[in-house]
Amino acid sequence: MLLFRSLPLGLILLIADATPSSASLIPRAIEKLHGVALKHTKSLARDLRVAFGGILVAQQPPSSNTHAVYCKPGRSGSLGGAAAGNSTSSVSPSGTSRAGPSSTKSSSGANQTGSSLPSSPWKLIETHQGTNFYDGWTFFIGPDTPTQGIVEYVDEGTARANGLLEVNSAGNAIMRVETTPNVPDLRKSIRITTNTQFNGGLVVMDAVHMPTGCGTWPAFWTNGPNWPHGGEIDIVEAVHDYTNNQMTIHTDTGCRLPSSDVNVLKISGNVIGGTDCAALTTGNQGCGIRSSLSNSFGAGFNRNGGGTYAMQWDGSGISVFFFPRGSEPDDITNDVPRPETWGPAQARWPADSCDPFKFFSDHSAIFDTTLCGQWAGSVWNAAGIPGQEQSCAQRTGVSTCEAFVRANGAAFSEAYWEVRYVKIYQFKG
pLDDT at 98: 57
Residue 78 included in any domain? yes
Residue 301: alpha-carbon gap to chain centroid: 15
Question: Residue 101: pLDDT above 80?
Answer: no
Choose, from 156, 237, 402, 418, the residue flagged as catalytic. 237
- Residues 198-216 have a mean pLDDT of 98
The whole-angstrom separation of Cα 292 and Cα 246 is 10
pLDDT 10s digits, 257-301: 999 999 999 999 999 989 999 999 888 889 999 999 999 999 999
Q: Which amino acid is at 47?
A: D
* Residue 309, beta-bridge partner list: 205, 322
Residue 19 lies in a domain: no
Is 60 exceeded by the pLDDT of residue 17? no
* Structural Rg of the chain based on CA atoms: 20
Asked if 389 is an active-site residue, the reply is no
Q: Which of 343, 207, 359, 339 is nearest to 277 (CA)?
A: 359
Domain span holding position 178: 37-427
Q: Tell me which of 232, 328, 402, 418 is the catalytic residue.
A: 232
**322 domain residue, yes or no:** yes
Q: How far apart are CA 400 and CA 215, in angstroms?
A: 9
* Own/partner long-range contacts of 394-402 (Cβ < 8 Å, ≥24 apart): 395/214, 395/241, 396/214, 401/214, 401/215, 401/371, 401/372, 401/376, 401/377, 402/150, 402/372, 402/377
**263 falls within a domain:** yes
CA distance between the termini of the chain: 52
Q: CA of 31: how far to CAs of 12, 27, 173, 383, in Å?
A: 13, 6, 37, 34
Residue 17 domain-assigned?
no
346 belongs to a structural domain: yes
Q: Which residues pair with 365 in a beta bridge?
A: 222
Lowest mean pLDDT among 14-18, 227-231, 305-309, 409-413: 14-18
Q: Give the separation between CA 115 and CA 127, rounded to whole angstroms.
A: 22
| Paired sense of beta strands 187-189 and 149-153, if any | parallel
pTM: 0.80
Q: Is 232 a catalytic residue?
A: yes
What CATH number should be reported for the domain holding residue 385? Answer: 2.60.120.200
Q: Is residue 171 part of a domain?
A: yes
pLDDT, residue 25, reads: 40
Report the SS3 class of residue 3: helix
**Count of beta carbons in the 10 Å neighbourhood of residue 207:** 24
The tally of domains found in the chain comes to: 1
- Asked if residue 24 is part of any domain, the answer here is no
